[in-house]
Structure 1
Amino acid sequence: MSHLSDLAKLKAQIRSNPNLNVFSGAVGGLASLTIGHPLDTVKVTLQTMKADSSGKMPYAGMLDCSKKLIKSDGILSLYRGLGSMIIMTMPRFALTFHGNALGKQLYAKWFPRDEKKTGVPVGQILFGGTFSQILVSPFIVAPFERVKVLMQTQKPREFKNQWDCFKFLLNKQGLASVFRGIPITYSRDMPTFGFYFLCYELVKYAFDKEGSNPLVTLLAGGCAGVGGWAVAIPMDTIKNRHQATMKKYNSFVTLKHLIKEEGFTGLFRGGGTILIRAFPTNAAAFLGYETCVSLIARFTAI
């Protein structure tokens, strides 16, 4: 039991070390992408679809969209934009987990906690998650998701691959077009990742304080994904709508058009797909992360 406690303490130290979080976060990101990208394609397609001249939507929901995409373009159509996401996801998760650990360190330095207090430090975790997106959202997420969204929604196919899409944006509309959607990406990601890490820590604390049970890790990661995305859905819909068009107007105009055409319920389109995808995707992400932490701890303890 003492060995387990010592190992648990070592793992806690690794989780709190920003630099050691880089590799573990990257592995978690790759695991997340492997599980979640096909449903992400369906989600973005549902969020950006528009009614035809008769007012009929092209897809009735997640299953209908999936079947029609596979029927028209084959199963590989669900993996459109995967290349840009591989390039984005691993650095994104690496820097997110690094930034989260760094943010928690800063919060603890600025607001020292009474050592007698137990339980989950809610303020520290919310700050760490929010802080983690300061550089990630504008410099990694916004440009790569701009390319991903265009690749996922183009009809007919205008771009051969992600690089072709990137060159088109750069040559035709300039660098600003590549980074389209930064403010709305910030609005989505900063609160989302605060709740994301908070949900994870709350479930872990409730069922597995030692951090050694992979089933609890899967449960906590899945809950983190659902909790985070429940916060993100409206902003995610606006962001994807905004990034899916070549027209030059700001995200407030995108929001105005969306509400005018579909009402406020349009902000939650694709919500079911998002939440269904969120659980296994983020369960895999945190399992990959915690597995890496455990391996580092065991090698360190040798």
Structure 2
Amino acid sequence: MVSHVGYKDNQEHLTAKDHAFAGAVSGFLTRGFLQPLDVLKIRFQLQVESTLRRGGGLYHGVIQSAVVIVRSEGLTALWKGHVPAQALSICFGVAQFWSYAVLTKTANEHGIGERYSIHGVCGALAGTCGTLASFPCDIVRTRLIAQGTPKRYNGMVDAWRKLLHQEGILSLWRGLVPTLAMTAPYTGLTFYFYNAFFILASKSFGDGGEVPWLSSSAVSGVASGVCAKVCIYPLDVLKKRIQIRGFEEARRQFGKCI
């Protein structure tokens, strides 16, 4: 039987530390492969002009945007902010999976039972814990990805130092309110959809929940992530805009066609 995420009465239990380790490793690997897409996403989010070809913006398509970045900033620009992004993923993954395991176990021990609403509530609380643990890394990641040339920050530590010196300690928490407003429903919806899709996929793939080249867990993870992200994406755009307040000159370097 394939394991769900979180605590289940009818399966061999992993400890909260096991879930935390799994969250850290999965976050690390995912970030390494998908960082170029994250760079493109943030550039699109910070571009005020339309992303249509005739909209006046510098970026108007995934392939076109990647080519523009590589030509003007070099291939490594697609991995801008990778170190703080990895720190973000690991911190968020550890805090989220650990707290989700603890919360679901507590809920089951108190007889609340196996209900989708429990997974949603526990997921929302776990996402909040992950956000609070990793948010300063998110600020630095956004700033490093947003900057063009010449560079204002020379790395994660330099960015933290300059933010604290020039903008104060509160700058490391800029955009926290819309982030929490986004994270709680996002993680809640993710875990809710995951458990719903897992049951459906397990029934579709047979008793073991597997086919030779695919697993119900993988299908459920992809489907739940897509559904949850579509629901909360406008808040993610708002968060990125707030995070670069005081740093708008970087956006202007890539926001318009030259």
TM-score w.r.t. length of structure 2? 0.81
Shift of 1:36: 1.5
**Equivalent in the alignment of 2:171:** 177
Structure with the largest fraction of helix: 1
Of 120, 131, 152, the residue aligned with 2:125 is 131
Shift of 1:226: 0.5
Q: Is the 8 A contact 2:123 2:184 kept in 1?
A: yes
* Structure-2 separation of matches of 1:18 and 1:11: 17
Q: Aligned residue pairs: how many?
A: 234
Distance change in 2, residues 1:5/1:220 (3 Å): closer
**Equivalent in the alignment of 1:80:** 80
**Equivalent in the alignment of 2:140:** 147
* Structure-1 separation of matches of 2:90 and 2:215: 23
Shift of 1:134: 2.9
* Structure-2 separation of matches of 1:112 and 1:161: 46
- Structure 2: runs of 5+ lacking an equivalent: 249-258
**Equivalent in the alignment of 1:38:** 36
Give the SS at the match of 1:58.
Answer: coil
**Equivalent in the alignment of 1:260:** none
One-letter amino acid of the counterpart of residue 146, structure 1: I
Distance change in 2, residues 1:67/1:31 (3 Å): same
Instruction: Please list, as runs of the form range in 1=range in 2, the aligned pairs for 1:217-236 lying within 5 A after superposition.
Output: 217-236=217-236
One-letter amino acid of the counterpart of residue 165, structure 2: N
* Structure-1 separation of matches of 2:164 and 2:2: 53
* Structure-1 separation of matches of 2:56 and 2:126: 41
Alpha-carbon deviations, 1:243-262, whole Å to 9, x = none? 122279xxxxxxxxxxxxxx
Where does structure 1 differ by over 6 angstroms across 4 or more consecutive aligned residues?
Answer: none
One-letter amino acid of the counterpart of residue 100, structure 2: N
* Structure-2 separation of matches of 1:167 and 1:100: 33
Q: Is the 8 A contact 1:143 1:179 kept in 2?
A: yes
Q: Is the 8 A contact 2:189 2:228 kept in 1?
A: yes
* Structure-2 separation of matches of 1:26 and 1:132: 14
Distance change in 2, residues 1:146/1:210 (3 Å): same
Distance change in 2, residues 1:159/1:247 (3 Å): closer
Shift of 1:56: 1.5
Q: Is the 8 A contact 1:50 1:58 kept in 2?
A: no
Instruction: Please list, as runs of the form range in 1=range in 2, the aligned pairs for 1:153-172 lying within 5 A after superposition.
Output: 153-156=146-149, 157-172=151-166
Give the SS at the match of 2:180.
Answer: helix
Shift of 1:18: 2.3
* Structure-2 separation of matches of 1:46 and 1:28: 26
Distance change in 2, residues 1:104/1:38 (3 Å): same
One-letter amino acid of the counterpart of residue 227, structure 2: G
Task: Establish whether residue 47 from structure 1 lines up as the match of residue 40 from structure 2.
Answer: no
Shift of 1:108: 3.1
Q: Is the 8 A contact 1:151 1:159 kept in 2?
A: yes
**Equivalent in the alignment of 2:191:** 197
Q: Is the 8 A contact 1:14 1:20 kept in 2?
A: no
Instruction: Please list, as runs of the form range in 1=range in 2, the aligned pairs for 1:183-262 lying within 5 A after superposition.
Output: 183-208=177-202, 210=208, 214-246=214-246
One-letter amino acid of the counterpart of residue 145, structure 2: Q
Instruction: Please list, as runs of the form range in 1=range in 2, the aligned pairs for 1:63-142 lying within 5 A after superposition.
Output: 63-110=63-110, 112-113=112-113, 121-140=115-134, 142=135
**Equivalent in the alignment of 2:255:** none
* Structure-1 separation of matches of 2:247 and 2:88: 25
* Structure-1 separation of matches of 2:72 and 2:85: 23
- Structure 1: runs of 5+ lacking an equivalent: 114-119, 249-302
Shift of 1:215: 2.8
One-letter amino acid of the counterpart of residue 70, structure 1: V
Alpha-carbon deviations, 1:216-275, whole Å to 9, x = none? 222111112212211221110000111122279xxxxxxxxxxxxxxxxxxxxxxxxxxx
* Structure-1 separation of matches of 2:95 and 2:59: 36
TM-score w.r.t. length of structure 1? 0.70
Q: Is the 8 A contact 2:96 2:129 kept in 1?
A: no
**Equivalent in the alignment of 2:253:** none
One-letter amino acid of the counterpart of residue 86, structure 1: Q
